[in-house]
């Protein structure tokens, strides 16, 4: 995705196949909890609906 494109709102769907491919690359680079701990970072807390 080029930087000159308008930033999408949080929670919006991918609008093109190129955007889907870029999101896939980001997911591949995602670190596991143990990898985050090694560099002194913390994983985002899980969120649940109280239903």
The whole-model pTM stands at 0.46
Question: What are the structure tokens assigned to 21, written together?
Answer: 């491919």
Q: What is the 3-state secondary structure (H, E, C) of 22-38?
A: HHHHHHHHCCCHHHHHH
Q: How far apart are the first and last CA of the chain?
A: 37
Q: What is the pLDDT, as a whole number, of residue 19?
A: 92
**CB distance 20 to 27 below 8 Å:** no
Q: What is the pLDDT, as a whole number, of residue 14?
A: 86
Q: What is the pLDDT, as a whole number, of residue 21?
A: 93
Q: What is the pLDDT, as a whole number, of residue 39?
A: 84
CA distance 27 to 41: 18
Q: Which residues of the chain have pLDDT under 70?
A: 1-10, 51
Q: What is the pLDDT, as a whole number, of residue 9?
A: 61
């Amino acid at each position: 995705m080029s930087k000159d494109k308008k930033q999408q709102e949080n929670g919006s769907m991918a609008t093109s196949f190129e955007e889907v491919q870029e999101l896939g690359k980001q997911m591949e680079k995602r670190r596991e909890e143990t990898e985050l701990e090694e560099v002194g970072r913390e994983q985002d807390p899980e969120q649940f609906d109280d239903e």
